[in-house]
Structure 1
Amino acid sequence: MKMVIQAEVAEALEKMRSKERYINTHNAHLQGEYKEVKDRMTAAEAKYQSASENVARLTNELADLSDQLADVRSASDDHGQSMTDTSPLVKIKAALQALKAETRTFDVRLGVVGHTLLQSKLRMNQAQGAASKKGRGGGGKGGGGGG
C-alpha cells in the first residue's frame, strides 16, 4: 500500500516537473520581456525621482524669489514715500515686472515637468498592463496544450 502511494506521488511529481519545464520553455520570451519592462520602469522611476527633486528645488527657488519680491516691494514702498525722485521707483517696478515674468516662467516649467512625469507614468502603466495581458493570455495557452 505504501509503495503504491509512493509510486503515485512520484509519478505526479514527475508530471508536475515535466509541465513546469514545458511552461518555462514556452514562456522564456515573456521572462525576458518582463525583465526589460521592469528595467524600463526602474529607469522611469529614477527619472521621476530626479524630476521630483528638480521640482522641489525650483519650488524652493520660487519661494525665495517671492520672499525677495516682498522685501523689494516693502523697500520700494518705504523709499517711494520718502523720495520725490520717481526714477528709482520706476526701476524697481520694472524689476518687479521682470520677477513676475520669471515667476510665470517657473510656473510654466513646473507645469511642463509635472505633465512630462504624468505622461511617463501613464506610458509605464500601459506597458505594464500590456505585459500583464500577454502574460495571462500566454499562460493559459501553454498550460492547456500540455495537459
Structure 2
Amino acid sequence: MSGSGAPSIEMPRVDGARVAVVAAQWHPKVTDALVAGAIRALDESGVTDYTVIRVPGSFELPVAALHAAKSGYDAVVALGVVIRGDTPHFEYVCQAATDGLMQVGLSTGVPVGFGLLTCDNDPQALDRAGLPDSREDKGYESTQAALSTLVAIKGL
C-alpha cells in the first residue's frame, strides 16, 4: 500500500474485535514505531481488546501469528523488519516469513496484516516506520489492511 497507485482505504470501525499484534524485537527503533502505528490504528478503529506479542525476530512471526489466530483473535498484525546484508540470510528470512504469514491466513481464515519491512538499508526502514520524519507508516497501514479484510470477510 505504498507509493504510486496506493489505494485510499478508510479506517473501518470494528468495535468488539480481538486483535493480536505480533512484532519482532530486532531493530527496535523501527519495530517499536511499527507497533505504535498499529496501536494508533486500533484505537481509531474502536478496537480495545488487543494484545502485543513480541518475538525475537521476523523468522518467528509466523508461528506466533498462527497461535494467535488459533487462540480466537479475529485478526493478526505481523510487524518486523529485515535489512539486506552481505549474505543470503535476507532472502531466506524474508521468504520464510512471507510464506509463513500467508499460510497462517489461508489455513485459519484469520486476516493477517503484513507489516514486515524488507529493506535494502536502514534509511529505507526508517522511512516506512511511522516515525515523525517517515514518509510511510506501515504499522498503521498493515493494521488497517487486516481490519478492512476482517470487515470484508464478515460481510460475506
TM-score relative to the length of structure 1: 0.25
Query: Comparing both structures, which one devotes a greater share of its residues to helix?
Result: 1
Query: Comparing both structures, which one devotes a greater share of its residues to strand?
Result: 2
TM-score relative to the length of structure 2: 0.24
Higher RCO, Cα 8 Å, sep 6+: 1
